[in-house]
Amino acid sequence: MWDNKGSIIFRVQQPLATDTAPLLSVLNHYHQRLENLFLCQQEALVEQRFELASQLLSHYQALLSAHIQLENSLLLPLHEKVEKPRWASSLYLREHEKILTLVSRAKEKLDAAQSEEGRSPRRGAIALLDYQRTIKGVLEHHEQREEQGLVPELSAMLDLSEEIKLAAQLEALWQQSFAERQDALNALLTQLDLDGLSYTTKL
């Protein structure tokens, strides 16, 4: 296209993510949002603000649980129909249980640390962050499997219109679970930024 001065105008039309890889883009987006929230909780730990970290971890636990529940109920039953999957559906299910158990233990440890005597808050924070490294490692591998195995295998099995419908359903439900907590999360994140550095993270 040319403008009236004879210069060429490039009209770049970004394709909607949902036109190309709808399921992958939705899953990836929510993995990032969850990771972001987990990191905010770790920022609070670094500052030894255990109560704030505990509240952020509670929200993370609930949102992760909602994420996993939908994967279990909407994606894995479909995945069971994939012939010769790279990783079996049962593996994702077992990993989900493991991840929820690890996060639940991390929450218990964090709450116990607040009333722990005889250990400096700094050492307490280090111990908690060390424990959480396991969660981050397990999650990283699990999400890689979902993004390299589960999702591409479902995409290959479904028609594009079916995939778009499924992705929209997941997006709406996950978005709802974040929206229900958005005000509470914003208030906690504002506390995290009270040092005036304003790193406020958009979740």
Q: Give residue number: closest CB to Fe ion.
A: 71
Between CA 82 and CA 173 the distance in angstroms is 24
> Distance between CA 90 and CA 111 in Å, rounded?
32
Binding mask 157-196 for Fe ion (x = CB under 5 A): ----------------------------------------
For residue 150, the one-letter residue type is: L
| Sole window of 45-53, 58-66, 72-80, 141-149 interacting with Fe ion (rule: CB under 5 A) | 141-149
Near Fe ion by CB under 5 A: residue from 43, 71, 153, 163: 71
| Nearer to Fe ion (CB atom), residue 90 or residue 120 | 90
Measured from the CB atom, the residue of 91 and 157 that comes closer to Fe ion is 91
153 contacts Fe ion (rule: CB under 5 A): no
Q: How far is the CB of 108 from Fe ion (least distance, A)?
A: 22
If the CB atoms of residues 111 and 147 are measured against Fe ion, the closer one turns out to be: 147
Residue whose CB is less far from Fe ion, 85 or 121: 85
* 3-state SS track over the chain: CECCCCCECCCCCCCCHHHHCHHHHHHHHHHHHHHHHHHHHHHHHHCCCHHHHHHHHHHHHHHHHHHHHHHHHHHHHHHCCCCCCCCCHHHHHHHHHHHHHHHHHHHHHHHHHHCCCCCCHHHHHHHHHHHHHHHHHHHHHHHHHHHHHHHHHHHHHCCHHHHHHHHHHHHHHHHHHHHHHHHHHHHHHHHHCCCCCCCCCCC
129 is written with which tokens? Answer: 């962050």
Q: Which is nearer to Fe ion, 43 or 71 (CB)?
A: 71
Least distance (Å) between residue 175 CB and Fe ion: 15
Q: Binding mask 13-52 vs Fe ion (x if CB under 5 A, - otherwise)?
A: ----------------------------------------
Q: Which C-beta is closer to Fe ion: that of 91 or that of 127?
A: 91
Give the total of residues touching Fe ion (CB under 5 A).
Answer: 2
Residues forming contacts to Fe ion in the complex (CB under 5 A) are 71, 146
